[in-house]
Amino acid sequence: MKRPRLFSPSGWVPGPRLPRPGLHGPGLHGPGLTGSLLLCLLVVATLADRAGAVKIAAQAKPAGQAAQKPPDPAVARGAVYTLDADRFDGPILSLVGGQLAIDSDPPRTVPLDEVDHIDLGAAPAVLLVWVGQDNHDGAQAGSSAGTSGIQDVHVQIRGIAPVRKITQAVVSGVFAGAAQVWMLDPGNTPFWRLESVRAADSSTADFYLEPPAADCFEQPLDVMLTFDDKTTVKSRLTATTHTDAALKVGKVEGEAKPAVVEPLVVLATDERVHGRSVEIGDDLLRLKLLTGPELKIPLAEVRGVWLGDDKSEHRKTFDEKLKGGGATDWALIASRENEKEVASVEGSVQAIADGKLVFLVGDDARKVSLSRVLGLVMATHPAHARADVFYQMFELAGGDKMSGQLTAVKPDVLDVHTLWGTDVQLPRGEVRSVTCRDGRASYLSDLEPVSVDEVSYFEHRLLYHRDQGLAGGPLLLRGMTYRKGLAVHSRCVLTYRLDGRYELFKARLGFEDGAPIGGAIACRVLADDRELYANPSLRPGAEPVSLNLELQGAKQLVLEVDFGDSQDVGDRIVWAAARVVRPESPAAKAATPGAAQAATTP
């Protein structure tokens, strides 16, 4: 079997062989292979195997026989985290009668309303979006920076934590039997340099690659990202458009290509979901998700739709109008003559169909090409309280979030009933995590206090933080990182409305890791003016206090952190995993004997 050929600046050369341990590869210098280069050579070896396997399969397949679909991968390993901080590792198998079945060791069933969150163990940490050749030129063949006059292949990476920096990227694929590798920093290798464009603190990066000689259409590309914290993310995407290695900048093959529009829909609940396409009609917005399925959303649930570039200077105008609201709809529309001239037009959104916006201005229904529409802001509807129901928040690959009720867990999809009454199937491999809300427990960091009383002993006041430390970092207590909780500084009194729905208050109370020595606080927990817990002098050296307090149907809960005998110096307090718990649900009481016990047994 012939090895695939790798394109280099000097022409087509045989794919490289992996060097023996301790030896230098041709043209390499120094005491040995760097980790990055070795990683890339492993990529090429993998590509060689893939290309060879493709060639063998093609030769072995009888004429006229369709290629067989590869078997579905096994259900990915995951983990279930309960409200009592237990963790059960193993694939999530099903959801029947409110019971989540886990293929752990031993197998367990856990009532869904006893679950804090689920890690499905399958979704990539980033979302890859194929854009294709969009008239940009920032890369060329070879390892040197530069341009070629040929339109680059554009790949977008979404869902990157803004604080993380990409230190290395490797994109690889096999096209017409030839392996091709692009790198952010190819160094002294024959691989091609890719261009990366990412604004400061952005969750999105744009990669531009010089196109290979062969068409990329319907071919997979593997992407590996290395970050400044030394972690690595691997994912794959498939080219959804044709590519042409001779397509020059400014040239359009055939008919003019419409601009790539990947709308961002902002919901009334402030959830944000990206899609591939959007349509509006019959008081519904239909959003084709990047992960495949279609969402049908009542227009009353939509606050806005962004259709422009995330880096556009007009994004600020869109965000400001979202916050302001109003009695009418607004459209941000670019001029026909000059796309940099954008007008804010007041009117009413009638429809989006066939690539056009129908927008009513007075009595005039105007049709505008979607390529000129940057954003839509919907009229403010009367605020409506979300029904008091148990639901889940689904975090998708790329960082998008949407809420709904998990109704079934299947090998390849999750069945979800949205809170506006429609059903959708989310591909299991594209869901990062599922977090339960308004079940047996509600975290105080998810609730709005009815009053906040914060007073500084001196003039510098530190405001309380939700789900992070007072300095904005992780919520740390005695070396443990907590996903949920409150960080406060004396004096701070938080009051929450409970309406008699809860029976317990649970939390772990102590000084935040890193708090200056010498702090001291007076702390109390009250329910309807009944003192449930009090400590007149809690100090940094003390062990954190585990609280499990009976609320007895209280209407109100108060968390009070007051000055100690050291004024407010070093008074950095954490209410870790602070939550209120409802009485046991009928589903849990009716569970299979031993199921509820299994959920809390290590």
Q: What is the DSSP string of 3-20?
A: PPEEEETTEEEEPPPPPP
Secondary structure (DSSP) of 437-497 = ESSSEEEGGGS--SEEEE--SSS--PPPEESS-TTSS-EEETTEEESSEEEEESSEEEEEE
Give the helix ranges, DSSP H, for 345-470.
Answer: none
Strand partners, 178: 175
Domain for residue 83, yes or no? no
Closest CA to 390 of 434, 424, 352, 359: 434
Given this model, what pLDDT does residue 289 score?
82
The answer on 162 and 42 residing in a single domain is: yes
Is 180 among the domain residues?
Answer: yes
Residues 329 and 228 in one domain: no
Q: Would residue 550 count as lying in a domain?
A: yes
- Provide CB contacts within 8 A for 500, sequence distance 6+: 553, 554, 555
Whether 575 maps to a domain, the answer reads yes
Shared domain for 447 and 548, answered yes or no, is: yes
Amino acid at 215: D
Tokens coding 378: 């919907």
Alpha-carbon gap, residue 257 to 276, rounded angstroms: 16
* Torsion sign over Cα 528, 533, 539, 542: negative
In a domain, 108, yes or no: no
For position 446, which CATH number holds?
A: 2.60.120.1060
The answer as to whether 602 is a domain residue is no
Segments forming the whole domain that contains residue 324: 264-377
Using the 8-state DSSP alphabet, how is residue 395 labeled? E
Looking at the structure of the chain, the number of domains it has is 3
The token duo for 322 is: 């979202």
Regions in the chain scoring below 50 on pLDDT: 1-34, 36, 38, 48, 51-75, 254-260, 587-602
Q: Which residues pair with 180 in a beta bridge?
A: 173
Structure tokens at 581: 């718990």
> Do 19 and 142 fall within a single domain?
yes
**Whether 143 and 16 share a structural domain:** yes
Distance CA 223, CA 62 (A): 33
Q: Count other C-beta atoms under 10 Å from residue 380's C-beta.
A: 14
Residue 206 lies in a domain: yes
Q: Do 225 and 345 fall into the same domain?
A: no
Are 194 and 279 contained in the same domain? no
Residue type, 75: V
- Distance, in Å, from the CA atom of 552 to the CA atom of 92, rounded to the nearest integer, reads 35
Within this chain, do residues 349 and 467 fall inside the same structural domain, yes or no? no
Give the residue from 220, 238, 256 where a domain finishes: 238
Contacts of 499 (CB under 8 A, 6+ apart): 555
Classify residue 396: in a domain, yes or no: no
Rounded to whole angstroms, the Cα distance separating 169 from 223 reads 7
Do 308 and 181 share a domain, yes or no? no
Are both 167 and 233 inside the same structural domain? yes
219 and 320, same structural domain?
no
Q: Give the tokens for residue 395.
A: 């975090």
Give the end of a domain, one of 377, 395, 413.
377
The pLDDT score that the predictor gives to residue 70 is 35
Length of the chain: 602
Strands laid side by side in the 556-563 sheet? 451-454, 492-497, 556-563, 521-527, 530-538
Is the domain of 46 the same as that of 153? Answer: yes
Q: How far is CA 111 from the centre of its chain?
A: 26
Among 355, 377, 399, identify where a domain stops: 377
